Amino acid sequence: MNNNLLEVRGLTKSFGALLASDDIDLEVREGETHAIIGPNGAGKTTLISQLAGNLLPDRGRVRFAGEDITALSAPARSHRGFARSFQITSIYRDFTALENVMLAVQAHAGSSFRFWGSARAERALQEPARRVLEEVGLGARTGLPGGNLAHGEQRQLEVAMALATRPRLMLLDEPVAGMGAEETQRMVGLISTLKGGKTIILVEHDMDAVFSLADRVSVLVYGRIVATGTPEEIRTNAEVRRAYLGDEVAA
């Protein structure tokens, strides 16, 4: 027995001649925050997309909570407890922040083949949505259209939508990308409040964020995982330093 929530075996995906995922093995333990780092073009987003079910692998298996989910679609994985944020912000720009999150709640609160009652007026959707918006710090912005929020707030909104589906596993693809120092700090703070309660896979370029949040780190280079370990181990791993981190960490 083990306490792995997610197990990936031999995951392989190529686009033409480019091998984006090369026989990837990965284990993510229940409750841990597992960061995946790697240089640009290492195949991090491709990996996340295969985990979330947006992209089918060429070969390999993905097991989640003991169940083989390799062939499941993204919506089906969502209902098993996956939630994803995208590298490029993906929200409903014309809907208000509250409506964005209410939709995420709605997807997990009974049938949506209901044609009559107003969804906006449903308290069972509103209340959890408001709670989540408070939790991520958007409590004062609920009525604004998603497209009118600041960049950092849109990223928070994405996390809120992920949270609203009450996931077991969150896949966060560069949650602090393009953020200023202050926004980054707020997002790191937000993710650290989720730590422990949720299992998180975090793809990130910002090394400070990674080393302050991650319990374990896997390093992806040219589609292969070259090392997995605690932040300390990764920091001192000679191969990793050579292959990727280089002087960035030493500096």
Partner 1 sequence: MNSRTRAIVLATGLAVLAAVPPVAGLLNQPFYLDLVRRIMIFAIAALSLNLILGYGGMISFGHAAYLGIGAYAVGVLAHYGIDNGFLQWALAIGASALVALVIGAVSIRTSGVYFIMITLAFTQMLYYLGISVEEFGGDDGMRLAAKSQFGLIDLNDGNAFYYLVLAVLVLFLFLGHRLVNSRFGMVIRAARSNEARTRSIGFSPYPYRLAAFVIAGAMCGLAGALLVNHTAYLTPEFMNWTRSGELMFMVILGGTASIAGPVLGAFALLLVEDALSGWTQHWQLILGPLLVLSVLFFRRGLAGLLFGKNE
Q: Which residues of the chain form contacts with partner 1 (CB under 8 A)?
A: 52, 54, 73-76, 78-79, 83-84, 86, 90-95, 99, 102-104, 106-108, 111-120, 122, 161, 164-165
Taking the complex as a whole, the smallest distance from the CB of residue 52 to partner 1 amounts, in Å, to 7
Taking the least distance from each CB to partner 1, the nearer of 95 and 211 is: 95
Taking the complex as a whole, the smallest distance from the CB of residue 104 to partner 1 amounts, in Å, to 4
Taking the least distance from each CB to partner 1, the nearer of 77 and 186 is: 77
| Rounded (5°) CA angle 88-14-87 | 10
Taking the complex as a whole, the smallest distance from the CB of residue 12 to partner 1 amounts, in Å, to 23
Taking the least distance from each CB to partner 1, the nearer of 39 and 145 is: 145
Taking the complex as a whole, the smallest distance from the CB of residue 32 to partner 1 amounts, in Å, to 22
Taking the least distance from each CB to partner 1, the nearer of 38 and 53 is: 53
Taking the complex as a whole, the smallest distance from the CB of residue 203 to partner 1 amounts, in Å, to 15
Taking the least distance from each CB to partner 1, the nearer of 135 and 215 is: 135
Q: What is the per-residue DSSP string for the chain?
A: ---EEEEEEEEEEEETTEEEEEEEEEEEETT-EEEEE--TTSSHHHHHHHHHTSS--SEEEEEETTEE-TT--HHHHHHHTEEEE-SS----TTSBHHHHHHHHHHTTSS-----SS-STT-HHHHHHHHHHHHHTT-TT-TTSBGGGS-HHHHHHHHHHHHHHT--SEEEEESTTTT--HHHHHHHHHHHHHHBTTBEEEEE-S-HHHHHHH-SEEEEEETTEEEEEE-HHHHHH-HHHIIIIITHHHH-
Q: CA-based Rg of the chain, rounded to a whole angstrom?
A: 18
Taking the least distance from each CB to partner 1, the nearer of 13 and 216 is: 13
Taking the complex as a whole, the smallest distance from the CB of residue 35 to partner 1 amounts, in Å, to 21
